[in-house]
């Protein structure tokens, strides 16, 4: 009886290769940690946004003899109620900081930036306050991965 030779892989060999690929893929996904990477990306956007807001506020002050926008309240803590910046195009800025003077003629900003996750139609998700010495703090309390994002100038 002559033995025939079959070319190909057995089911066991295919299952072993698929299992090995699955294990390696799991290790790579855990090492990359997509949730952390996405959070870091959103935090980078928040850092850019708070810096942009602070620069626009100070440019406004330079053009107005050192006067900051009047809606910025004096306080010690940035992310307290009443210090959230009103979003561009919001119907009502009641209880929020209205910085529409920065976007009025698009001289300082074309629109108020919004936090990637907490910004909505009424609030930008960013907060602003000033000290008694007119030092302005802009912060992003929605920062992820235990980050603190706050810029003071």
Query: From CA 78, how far away is CA 80, in angstroms rounded?
Result: 6
Q: 104 Cβ partners below 8 Å, 6+ apart?
A: none
- Comparing CA positions, the residue from 143, 141, 152 lying closest to residue 81 is 141
Tokens of 55: 């620069």
**Angle, CA of 59, 65 and 68, to the nearest 5°:** 55
Which whole number is the average pLDDT over 3-29? 87
Query: From CA 69, how far away is CA 58, in angstroms rounded?
Result: 9
Amino acid 2: pLDDT = 65
Amino acid 89: pLDDT = 85
Which whole number is the average pLDDT over 86-113? 93
Q: Per-residue confidence at 1, pLDDT binned at 50, 70, 90? A: low
Residue 5 has pLDDT above 90, yes or no: no
pLDDT over 90 for what percent of the chain? Answer: 73
Amino acid 139: pLDDT = 97
5 or 58, which is more confident?
58
Query: What φ, ψ does residue 37 adopt, rounded to 5°?
Result: -60, -45
Q: Per-residue confidence at 123, pLDDT binned at 50, 70, 90? A: very high
């Amino acid at each position: 009886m002559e033995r025939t030779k079959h070319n190909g892989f057995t089911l066991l060999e295919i299952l072993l290769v698929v299992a090995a690929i699955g294990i390696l893929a799991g290790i790579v996904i855990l090492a990359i940690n997509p949730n952390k990477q996405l959070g870091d990306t959103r935090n980078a956007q928040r850092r850019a946004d708070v810096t942009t807001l602070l620069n626009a506020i100070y440019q406004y002050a330079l053009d107005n003899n050192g006067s900051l926008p009047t809606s910025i309240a004096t306080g010690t803590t940035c992310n307290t109620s009443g210090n959230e910046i009103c979003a561009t195009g919001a119907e009502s800025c009641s209880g929020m900081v209205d910085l529409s003077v920065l976007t009025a003629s698009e001289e300082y900003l074309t629109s108020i930036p919004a936090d990637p996750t907490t910004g909505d139609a009424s609030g930008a998700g960013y907060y602003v306050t000033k000290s008694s010495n007119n030092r302005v703090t802009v912060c992003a309390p929605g920062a992820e991965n235990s980050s603190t994002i706050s810029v003071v100038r």
